[in-house]
Structure 1
Amino acid sequence: MNATTLRWIGDWPWYAGVIAATVLAIAAWVLYRKDTGGMRSGFRFVLPLLRALTVFLIVILLGGPVLQHRTVVGERARLIVLVDGSESMQLADPGMDSGRKIQILERLGMLNPGDVALELPQASAALGAARNLGERTKLAEVPTAEMSKKNLTDFAALVANADGLFGKSGKGADQLARFRSELAKPAADLAAREIKSLDDGNRASQDLVKLGEAAGRWSAEVADIFQKSINAEGANPLVKDALGRFDGLARWQRVQALLLEGKPGQRILENLAKKFDVQLASLEGDEVKRVWQASSNAAPLPTALNQPVGSITNLTSGLSFGVSTADKAGQGAVLLITDGQQNAGESAVEVARILAGKKMPVFALGTGSHVAPRDLAVVHAIVPDSVFHEDKVRGEIIIKEEVAPGLPYKITIKDGEKDVLEKPIELTSEGKPRRSVPFEFPVKELAAERLKAASADVKARTVPLDLKVSISPIDGEKELTNNEGRLRFRAVTQKRRILLVDGRPRWETRYLKNLYQRDEKWEVNAAIAGMRGEAGFVRTSESDLQEGATDEAKERAREGKLPGTKAELDTYELIIFGEVPKDLLKDEEKRWLADFVGKRGGAIIFLDGARGHLRQYGDTPLGALLPVEYLDKPPTGIESLGLTSRAAGLAPFALSNEIATNAETWAKLPLPKSVVGVKPLPGAEVLIDAKAAGDSRVPLSVLRSFGAGKVYYHAFDDSWRWRYEVADKYHVKFWNQIAGFVAEEPFATQDKFVSLDAGKLNYEPGAQAGLRARIRSGEGTPVDAAAVTAVLSRDGKVAAKIELTPAEGGLYRGKTAALEPGSYEVTIESAAVPEGQIKVRAEFKVEASLNIERTLLSVNEELLRQIATTSGGQYFREEQVDQVLKLLEPLTAGTVEESESPLLESGWWFALLVFLLTAEWLIRKRVGML
């Protein structure tokens, strides 16, 4: 395959040469036209054109145009180069041992070979390779006698090489003697062993694995000897300066230098592209982003890599990309450049096994120090999503301690510059990989400060709190960016409101009232007919809710009373409606209840009973809400309770953690004494049922959507019996979960016209946020079928506009696209609201909840070695990149031959200039201008 492309290699950039040539050609045209004013029109045009073309072709040579000829000889194998684009690649490695640093600096051209004697680092590397060989032997299938013998010989050669380098260094005489007795001699003896049978090979392989483990230990010890020698002798100024510059280089910068920088012949990507069909890709989160691909038209090499910003490391996605490529191409390989700290996705080793089956080995190049530096880090802060503002928030901070035991440090939690804790949490390190530290503090003052700053036109039901968790650094700690974390939760400033209505005192309503009064999320008002001595219900009056009264005074005035107005009824989220005789409610109150669910979007729970009062509402507006049709007779012979398949998968019906044990728990609950006979209406869902005689199922609870809200029907009124011998264990849990399931989630903020909510306060990158808005008129009535747009801003800039879909009751819903990390704000636009009257804003943040990328600071060599050996490849450290290139070379049969032809030296270019000048001379002579 042949291709020719034009490149520019002059002192001027190509565009400067083109602009200069064009300007001078136009100038030549204009000046020449003045001298040809009296000529025929044809010559007046041709002569200036010839001169202008000549000037253009001469001046453009200042850009250094070169024709590059590229010929592909043979068939090149496919090579996928995958570069880790996660945030951990921004880390530097000042804690890496000096031997490795110096070898990397020499490979990058920042130190001259020979400036430092590297026998010990080279010995350490040889022992690391011996350890790798032992690891491959452990993972390999049963070897033949010939394979076993080869492995023994290769292992002994690596150890012998390390022995020679160790001895040549002249350092660590005592350690050298121990090394020879513990490893060098046993390796030589093992290589000399005769392998006559398969059993001999198996035993030799087992011994080789043990020696491989010893080689790994000696690799670390030899590296330590070199480090101590560097520290003891001190480095010369050039070496010291180079080591200092290395400590400032991030991992991705070192990878960039290896792939794209350096002198011709040292740039790895350029060298690989001459023999392979190379595709360069970046692993950014779960995505594989293509950066560059060598092609027949000689696509220019990239000049730099993108700065890594991925919040997770998913090596599996990259290897799966290699699998898809293997299906389309023939022989190939994958070069994986990463620190190996996978923290997302499925098993990368399993994908490597698939690549092995496709004859596409993975050669892993590990970047970073193989020894974890001293480090403290905030891994994660565990805190409830919301806390009532008058309570204390309680949670845990997960700490990583990669330090020796006994070191003191402190944890602080701050709101801006203000300490939230009474005093810092003082700790002493335990040397554990993970440690949980509990905390608690009041949130009332924090919430009050934010409420004061809020607009008077906006009513916030929750206040977002964003606090900073910090760990004091210890001596010698290099990575300080992971010493901080965020603590985000909502302070709930208003409890959700329940109206409990019943026609008489019952055990069920008594227990429900008590359990919701104890729950910090709910505020319950129980209106029980006859409880105040009057016949029927007592209703609130205007004097009870007079303007200027405090919220506490209004609640005291409402206690035990039915709402006297529709507007007051709409202040509740949930109504629990018991056995209320039909004649105790006014006709308008029945309409209010129907509108509360259908238009306002509220929820109602019907608690039916044996007296049959609810079935009397069939011919009223309230009857339309009931999701059941009444039967003539109640069911009999109930044996046990159970869940339908639909309810078994819903969290509100989980009384125990496991699905299997949950079913057993429901089956063992005490049975109701009486059950109302009903069957569900079309479109309604049975959630709880009971087993009756003949394996028939009796519906006990039914759910149905009605307009903008939900209706939950309960066919019995003695769930309080579930408290028998277990107290609140099941009864309280069930009713708390049902209330949250049926009632609409409260909106985070609202003004006179709009209520707005954006779901969670924190989202993981790539998640989608659910948006809800309710639009009301100035009179408070729902506005349906309006055009409503959610404006999504990220870090102060508009990121998207989302058209919300209308539902009943003035409710509008929508969902964002996959979210990128950042701070977000949601506002609403709608012509249904008077201009300038929308005040509400909802905020949330998108960032990884676990501070993983800057928590694990060393290269995960074990995982990378597994990936490589499983796929049939090998693992190397970044300073051993040239060994990778040697192993890759036999995999391809093709090569790319390139040559260049500068236009300045081109004969046909010179001939073209001569032709133009000659033509001009002949025409000038003919018209008498010579």
Structure 2
Amino acid sequence: MESLLRNLALQLGASPAAPGEELTPFLRFERPWSQGLLLLVLLVGSFLIVRLYLSERGGSIAYRLGLASLRVSLLLLTMFLIAEAVLVVERVDLPYLVIMADDSASMAREDQYADAELVERAAQLAAETERADVSRFSLVRSWLGRENGALLESLQEQHRVRLYLMAGSARELAEVDDPEDVGPALSALDGAQAIGEQSLLGTGVRQVLTELRGAPPSAILILTDGQSTRGESLSDVAPLAARKGVPLYTIGVGDDTPPRDLALSDLVVDDVVFVGDAVRFDAKLSSRGFEGLPITIRLFETPPDSGDDALASGREVASVQVEAPPDGQAIPFEIIHRPQETGRFDYVVVAEPQPREDGVENNRLRRTIAVREDKIKVLLVDGQPRYEYRYLKTFLERRPESIDLQVVLQTADPEYSAQDIVALPNFPTAAEGDDGLFRYDVVILGDADPLYFSASQLQLLADFVTEEGGGLVFASGEFFNPISYQGTPLEPLIPVQLTGARNPFQGGESVQPFRMNLTAEGQASPIFRLADEEAVSEEVWENLPLHYWFLESPRKQPAAFVLAEHPSVAGSDGPVPLVAYQFVGAGKSLYIGLDDTWRWRIGTADRYFGRFWVQMIRFMARSRLNRDRPAELATDRSTYQSDQPVLFRARFLSAGLAPRSGEVAVEVERGDRPPDRLILRSTGDSSDSFEGILPNPVPGDYRIRLLPPPVLEGEIPTAEFRIEPPADERDRVQLNKAELVRAASLSGGEYRSILEAENLLDDLPPARKIPLDTDPPIPLWNDWRVLSLFLGLLTTEWVLRKRKQMI
């Protein structure tokens, strides 16, 4: 009836409803009949009319009853006209109905339901809108968008529908006032991403209630996993909603069973290695829901740029089994692999997926590694044929397939160089050429007298490190190295400070036998790995022969890394450093503060002595051999929380390649989004080092690369890192059903699972319409259409009586 009157009002000239309005027409009588008189006239008149027609002759009884009904209709219409009926049109404002969708990072999760029926329902819901994934936020889109937004269209008929996102705060996404608004609203929802760093559910509901305090909504539908990471929870704000008469209908999205997940992180491995090297892949494994379960971690070698098909096209080269740690903890592990072929390879570390594990994207880590077989050109320089020199020279001579050795012995006879094919008569005086210093990759400077070098030779050796990226090893001795190099161009290259350094023997002191202590950096360094397995290597170190001499240098250089230290003698900065290295310009230098590593040969020949020196030489040669990467780009960590700034560092291996402007640019990419540009500025400490900070990054996987200028030959430096949501948002991911049920109950609403909410419309409260205005009454009693109806009924009755000759 209301729809009929609404159409009649529009036909009689009433203005259509504006967006968000509704027309409520009804009849009113200006001269109303009393109810008793109306009933008396209607009953008496109808009785007399029916009796009169039944008493007449002609036509059947049904025919005469039909004529009587026409005459009764004329009676009703006459009473309608006498009462002066008018059509009154009231305009009412439709009440709001609010839909709030949680777009925090936990809603990007794809749940692994234990119940097969729930798995099927989630797949069916996603299929209704042809979505490929069944993440929580994707299910929200599908639930609102199925059947082309039929739910929104139905709600819009009696409400003004507002759609909000609610991670962090409530943000209005769209308003649906008529059917044409449904499509844009769904498109806006499709463009949203579940990347919010916080879930302030209660705060968001309170914000909406405050915003609509003049016209409280009929109800609020909340699609969420129920986890509030900050501020008020939904049950905290539910009593306020109840006082305002606004029930909360909570729609649970997700699985309420504890999450199960494995994750690999913090992979550390050298970018350049050599054939036959024991390459260490150090990483960490964290888990949820798998504590104590043995997890197999595999290492695959794949062709470069093999993409998502890496495992299918690669081969497994190593594996290790690790016991999953307790929830929230990470356990370090390592995999050792010895590559046997040269080239560039992608290595993928993969934790074997487990049943009902949440996604496997974080189960793998990838690194590209260059495997080389270059002969390392080594120049060994010493003052006299001490044990360290003789054993090292003999060992390196026996490795012509990987070491190209030449030596300079300062105290040797002039004929020595003619008798020994690896001996040189003098230290090189030129930089380039077959006899130049720059042809070498590593120089091992033993206990050589600096007075044998000219000033230009010392400067040439310094340039070999800082400009050419060479490696310089200071192998200490009792007479000259390194104390005698104080004040020379080599002093800044020594990783320890010479001020206060002393030789205990020269003071007449006795040295108690000792064994070096490895620092954390030393334990992680490939130099000191004397066995493939870490536990075996530690056992080897505990059983190496003792040392009987060391150089006491109390302080390291500020930028140096200490790898080994004295177990009992302390300097001004802590234990006396015995092995340390530092980056200097394009290369690096290493200091060894003892002279009897040859003792490690006792009972084992060259097994540990030789391995140590080969690994150290390869470590020092990497910068020199890795010339196809003229610059390095790195972040200070591989994984960050979203509230942590990311520090970028760029270092040019040759100062001549660094831009003179003091700035370089990097391109920052995240997923399919357009890349951003970030400027790194010179650190001031070195003209070849640059730093920059990326503040407040959003969660995701990032890749950065160095942009020209400068113009670099070879591979463009790149780096990767990951931004994770805040700990609460990442850790509290299971559906909080109890909270959603409680909030709905306190507010007078209901709880439903998104997989079981098909009949929600039937349970929503009726819309409470708000009167706005009343149009001027439209007279019906004197309208020509009503008069035409009266005459039409009268004429029809006369014609029908005439046909049966009842007149």
Q: Which residue does 1:578 correspond to in 2?
A: 446
The aligned runs of 1:497-896 (5 Å cut-off) are 499-509=379-389, 525=405, 527-529=407-409, 534=414, 563=428, 565-567=430-432, 568-570=436-438, 574-600=442-468, 602=470, 604-612=472-480, 614-618=482-486, 620-623=488-491, 625-626=493-494, 627-629=497-499, 630-631=501-502, 633-634=506-507, 636=509, 671-680=546-555, 687=562, 688-691=565-568, 699-701=576-578, 708=585, 711-721=589-599, 750=628, 755-759=630-634, 770-774=649-653, 785-792=660-667, 794=669, 799-805=676-682, 811-815=688-692, 817=694, 821=701, 825-830=705-710, 841-843=716-718, 864=736, 877-880=753-756
Superposition RMSD on alpha carbons, in Å? 7.7
Quick one: distance in 2 between partners of 1:272 and 1:573? 75
Q: Which has the larger radius of gyration?
A: 2
Deviation at 1:500, TM superposition (A): 3.9
The aligned runs of 1:134-533 (5 Å cut-off) are 252-258=137-143, 261-263=149-151, 280-282=165-167, 291-292=171-172, 302-303=185-186, 304-306=188-190, 317-319=197-199, 321=200, 366-367=252-253, 386=271, 388=273, 390=275, 415=303, 444=341, 447=343, 463=344, 465=346, 488-493=367-372, 499-509=379-389, 525=405, 527-529=407-409
Change (3 A) 1:732 1:328: farther
Change (3 A) 1:616 1:330: same
**CA shift digits 1:653-682 (9 cap, x unpaired):** 79799x9x9999999976531233544488
Quick one: distance in 1 between partners of 2:516 and 2:445? 23
Quick one: distance in 2 between partners of 1:870 and 1:538? 93
Change (3 A) 1:535 1:885: farther
| Total equivalences in the alignment | 602
Deviation at 1:901, TM superposition (A): 7.5
Q: Which residue does 1:553 correspond to in 2?
A: none
Quick one: distance in 1 between partners of 2:572 and 2:714? 58
Q: Which residue does 1:82 correspond to in 2?
A: 102
Change (3 A) 1:671 1:557: closer
Quick one: distance in 1 between partners of 2:606 and 2:164? 62
Q: Secondary structure at the residue paired with 1:83?
A: coil
Deviation at 1:829, TM superposition (A): 0.7
Change (3 A) 1:692 1:826: closer
Quick one: distance in 2 between partners of 1:566 and 1:906? 103
Deviation at 1:608, TM superposition (A): 1.9
In structure 2, stretches of 5+ residues that fail to align are 1-16, 22-90, 176-180, 212-218, 240-247, 288-298, 317-322, 326-332, 725-731, 778-807
Quick one: distance in 1 between partners of 2:425 and 2:312? 40
Deviation at 1:580, TM superposition (A): 0.9
Deviation at 1:718, TM superposition (A): 2.0
**CA shift digits 1:400-456 (9 cap, x unpaired):** 9xxxxxxxxxx998756999999988xxxxxx999x9x99997847x3xxxxxxxxx
**CA shift digits 1:785-809 (9 cap, x unpaired):** 4445335274797631524426677
Quick one: distance in 2 between partners of 1:467 and 1:684? 32
Quick one: distance in 1 between partners of 2:340 and 2:540? 37
Q: Secondary structure at the residue paired with 1:262?
A: helix
**Contact 1:501-1:575 within 8 A present in 2 as well:** yes
**Contact 1:94-1:247 within 8 A present in 2 as well:** no
Quick one: distance in 2 between partners of 1:90 and 1:489? 30
**Contact 1:719-1:731 within 8 A present in 2 as well:** yes
Change (3 A) 1:386 1:722: same
Deviation at 1:768, TM superposition (A): 5.8
**Contact 2:408-2:424 within 8 A present in 1 as well:** no
Which residue identity is paired with 2:369? R
The aligned runs of 1:93-172 (5 Å cut-off) are 97=117, 101=121
Q: Secondary structure at the residue paired with 1:589?
A: helix
Which residue identity is paired with 1:595? D
**Contact 2:513-2:547 within 8 A present in 1 as well:** no
Quick one: distance in 1 between partners of 2:18 and 2:482? 86
- Greater fraction helix: 1
Which residue identity is paired with 2:716? R
**Contact 2:131-2:138 within 8 A present in 1 as well:** no
Quick one: distance in 1 between partners of 2:484 and 2:251? 77
Quick one: distance in 2 between partners of 1:506 and 1:334? 86
Quick one: distance in 2 between partners of 1:507 and 1:807? 43
Quick one: distance in 1 between partners of 2:704 and 2:588? 31
Which residue identity is paired with 1:577? L
**CA shift digits 1:285-304 (9 cap, x unpaired):** xxx68653899xxx999544
**CA shift digits 1:562-597 (9 cap, x unpaired):** 555324544656543210123443432211123334
Q: Secondary structure at the residue paired with 2:140?
A: helix
Quick one: distance in 2 between partners of 1:705 and 1:888? 70
Q: Secondary structure at the residue paired with 2:102?
A: strand
**Contact 1:793-1:824 within 8 A present in 2 as well:** yes
Change (3 A) 1:723 1:797: farther
Quick one: distance in 2 between partners of 1:585 and 1:770? 37
Change (3 A) 1:641 1:811: farther
Change (3 A) 1:440 1:675: closer
Q: Secondary structure at the residue paired with 1:699?
A: strand
In structure 1, stretches of 5+ residues that fail to align are 1-5, 11-66, 111-241, 283-287, 341-347, 401-410, 426-431, 448-462, 472-476, 541-555, 850-858, 890-894, 908-930
Q: Secondary structure at the residue paired with 1:97?
A: helix
Q: Secondary structure at the residue paired with 1:566?
A: coil
Deviation at 1:750, TM superposition (A): 4.1
**Contact 2:92-2:772 within 8 A present in 1 as well:** yes
Change (3 A) 1:906 1:813: farther
**Contact 2:512-2:548 within 8 A present in 1 as well:** no
Deviation at 1:604, TM superposition (A): 3.4
Change (3 A) 1:783 1:843: closer
Deviation at 1:490, TM superposition (A): 1.6
Change (3 A) 1:84 1:797: closer
Quick one: distance in 2 between partners of 1:635 and 1:325? 77
**Contact 1:366-1:876 within 8 A present in 2 as well:** yes
Quick one: distance in 2 between partners of 1:656 and 1:360? 61
Quick one: distance in 2 between partners of 1:697 and 1:94? 55
